Structure 1
């Protein structure tokens, strides 16, 4: 671990007995842990070793070993502990630690960490048009139990009792008459948890009958469902047209009846994106969609459009992970459209010398649905000149024996720091553009930027969902994922369930969409140039 991180953790421990106001992160953790907030014994030992207090360092290493610490290799290489290597207590301490490792390794081999234990083949049954009632109940039970023991965001939906939810859906799944209907029920159950990283996915055999969509994109803008993209030249639809009806049903009624009940979402803005952009026209490949639309002049017309296979649509709508252009006024515009692989970070590094000469940099993550957090963070490291705490997270640390003793479950806290890179950091003005489509790892990017206080965020609140999902298999060859990690800003400020709020709220308008104007980008350029 980084030295500064450990020193700060040690200072926190030494100050624990002093009456002071808690940080937001500590307040949250105190609430979750019943007030029992504890710093890692290993990190504390490192602090005392750096401070030259060998006896205290060994005391806390012993405490870490008593609690099961077993990373011998890391301990031997840890530069923070170099001062202890010549001490006669060092070798016996390592031997005890290695004993922990060997015991844990043996246990892991024989039981707990085997994939076959957690993901038993008994649940991995093949797809059938209507799987058995036993399979349906087993799948519901597995999803319920994995949520109960691993889900980290129950406080976002405090009205939900997971056991009551289980009993609500038990008779429903029993009465379901097809595998498709069964998975729709599980999707509806997952949506009740109000978490965008906790979802149920249909078996691949049902992909074309559930996830097919047309080569069109819509968005809810100023309470109107507006066409914002047409990717098939054969279609008569035009960007800027308002969708009034879908299959003879008013569009909002259609979304409320057939779309949003099955969309896992973390916030109102996230639900709107999923309901009116991502999934509005999803359905069976061979079932066309009848639309009633209205143009800017008020003329109403009806059109029938076809759905295409998900892979075909993804290819047609694909955008590069990284886009860069120099705007008038020497402003660098950098769109980071996905962190699904490291290509955005690689491309940014290749262009950094040119970008660093710009007067200001505008990062656009409005269409970034996430991926790997480290990709965005690799880019932000070009903008720091001193160590910066940028991220706090926790996961549940369930210990069955502690539960038997009546002790509260403890959260496992983690903090992440940025260290200055070798390159000369960029010191000019920086703006980040966000929307409700800014999600997951892209939100971690914005959260780090906000924590660094490096610049201004312009646009709309982000989706409000980040964290590490855990994938599980379900009978009939379907899958589900469950959010296991709660992410926060570095100081503990929450954004899961609410979204990261922009410093300046700017929303697109129907008029600008019809004119081909980018409302939020215009606002950013105006701010940089000093115009209101």
Structure 2
């Protein structure tokens, strides 16, 4: 026990030291020069969107005092790297002032912010007659939201708004981003649906145990803490698969790997065999899915891709030493991405055909990026004709479908019988790596691969647009219904009836 105490004491002391020790001007300058080198040699997205990070880094160097805190430096780098357009980029290894919160729940509704509280296990409006946030201490909510999440400023619009609104609860951190001192009391202006008739509350920030969890959808909250291995459990799997009114439904809260959750992959096979006999459509739900691997994408492709078809669904180029070392190639293969020479004759012919019309939004330098690596769906390699599901398939996504989940949506968009439904995804695909700065020990995560969708657009910052847009309503926000899923089910039945009438 004594050794455990000493271990904890040492850790706490080091953590406190890391947060209170100042960095000298020369240490920061050295770290910035190291960062420039890391970006120039490894980052796949730096400079592509027109943002020259060197201008901000140089300006920051010129204005440096003799010493700054680790937190100040970390905040600056987080905000600055966030402008590159790399959705996997992050800066870690520092702590912000984040011990005071508002005792409220903030939820996004289109471009407005609902103010909620929790009543037992249910969510409710804090003030039913004035459900919307209008201002905090006189500052309009839009102005605060725009600065509440500086690391993610290049996220797709809906993705940024949803994530930033949730952050409003963490008011001390938000005020740090606003570069304003946090007062002991805050005036919260609430308004009606037109933002014209107001009421004002005065609240004091509270410690974490006196506030609520940030807003999540009920669907999401049930799976937030699950580890990948837990998707092997029967009681979890039973929640992810069902058939109602002859409509199959598969919920994928995370893009887990086949090695971690083999039982999930077995259940998919069993379920797909079952609905082959008597179903009118299939819904695959990847809302709020934060990503993982591409294993589930290719497991489901067995049923969604006709055996006589070959599709080029993803084209990528990798930063790194050229020619690419074997470990880089293995990393791409783990993402089901292959060089032209590694494809068979039929696949190569499809790639040649694809490249005739493929117009990437960025022309990348051949001296910095590898040749293209392609993602393909080859029906004959995936499955037999008996496995092909020939009825309508709807992929339900939202603005929190991220990383491998956003790739999932992008890959299947445009395939016969497949429709994307819901909201634009938080597109991202970058084969990220981590780097450490020499003096501050700040950890920098950066994408090293540029990933293009079939239409030539990148995923990062753009996402994938739905074929059928369905937004959540207030009842869904309050956990009373799943309006998006209900509307989609109604749409499936309606479209089937229209086909019958024709």
What is the TM-score when the length of structure 1 is the normalising length? 0.63
Q: Does 1:179 align with 2:66?
A: no
Alignment CA distance shift 1:437-1:512 (3 Å): closer
Q: 2:134 aligns with which of 244, 256, 267?
A: 244
Partner in structure 2 of residue 21 of structure 1: none
Partner in structure 1 of residue 154 of structure 2: 265
Counterpart contact for 2:255–2:294, Cα < 8 Å: yes
1:336 deviates by: 1.5
1:239 deviates by: 10
3-state DSSP class of the match of 2:28? helix
- In 2: Cα distance, 1:514 partner to 1:407 partner: 51
Partner in structure 1 of residue 267 of structure 2: 350
Partner in structure 1 of residue 28 of structure 2: 136
Partner in structure 1 of residue 333 of structure 2: none
- In 2: Cα distance, 1:231 partner to 1:351 partner: 37
Partner in structure 2 of residue 392 of structure 1: 315
Identify which range, 293-302 or 460-469, moves more after superposition.
293-302
- In 1: Cα distance, 2:113 partner to 2:376 partner: 41
- In 2: Cα distance, 1:262 partner to 1:497 partner: 12
- In 1: Cα distance, 2:282 partner to 2:486 partner: 14
- In 2: Cα distance, 1:381 partner to 1:231 partner: 45
Partner in structure 2 of residue 334 of structure 1: 250
1:185 deviates by: 0.8
- In 1: Cα distance, 2:114 partner to 2:171 partner: 20
- In 1: Cα distance, 2:262 partner to 2:470 partner: 27
Counterpart contact for 1:172–1:185, Cα < 8 Å: no
Q: Does 1:438 align with 2:330?
A: no
Which deviations, in whole Å up to 9, do the C-alpha atoms of 1:399-422 show, x marking residues without a partner?
A: 59xxxxx98544331112333247
- In 2: Cα distance, 1:164 partner to 1:398 partner: 26
**Any residues of structure 2 matched to 1:414-453 within 5 Å, and which?**
414-418=373-377, 419-421=381-383, 424-450=387-413, 452-453=415-416
Q: Does 1:218 align with 2:125?
A: no
- In 2: Cα distance, 1:165 partner to 1:345 partner: 47
Alignment CA distance shift 1:233-1:282 (3 Å): same
**Any residues of structure 2 matched to 1:29-108 within 5 Å, and which?**
none
**Any residues of structure 2 matched to 1:95-494 within 5 Å, and which?**
127-129=18-20, 130-154=22-46, 156-158=48-50, 160-174=51-65, 177-203=68-94, 206=95, 209-210=97-98, 218-227=106-115, 230=118, 238=126, 241-246=131-136, 249-257=139-147, 259-277=148-166, 279-282=167-170, 284=172, 290=186, 291-293=188-190, 300=199, 302=201, 306=206, 308=208, 318-320=221-223, 323-326=239-242, 328-339=244-255, 346-355=263-272, 356-357=274-275, 358-386=279-307, 387-398=310-321, 408-418=367-377, 419-421=381-383, 424-450=387-413, 452-474=415-437, 475-490=439-454, 492-494=456-458
Q: List alignment gaps of at least 5 residues for structure 1.
A: 1-125, 401-405
- In 1: Cα distance, 2:302 partner to 2:98 partner: 41
1:444 deviates by: 0.9
For the pair shown, the structure with the greater C-alpha radius of gyration is 1
What is the TM-score when the length of structure 2 is the normalising length? 0.66
Over aligned residues, Cα RMSD in angstroms?
Answer: 4.1
Alignment CA distance shift 1:191-1:166 (3 Å): same
- In 2: Cα distance, 1:242 partner to 1:299 partner: 9
- In 1: Cα distance, 2:206 partner to 2:453 partner: 43
1:443 deviates by: 0.8
How many residues in Structure 1 have an aligned counterpart in Structure 2?
396
Alignment CA distance shift 1:340-1:127 (3 Å): farther
Q: List alignment gaps of at least 5 residues for structure 2.
A: 1-16, 174-181, 227-236, 324-364
Partner in structure 2 of residue 10 of structure 1: none
Partner in structure 2 of residue 83 of structure 1: none
1:500 deviates by: 0.6
- In 2: Cα distance, 1:228 partner to 1:324 partner: 28
1:225 deviates by: 0.7
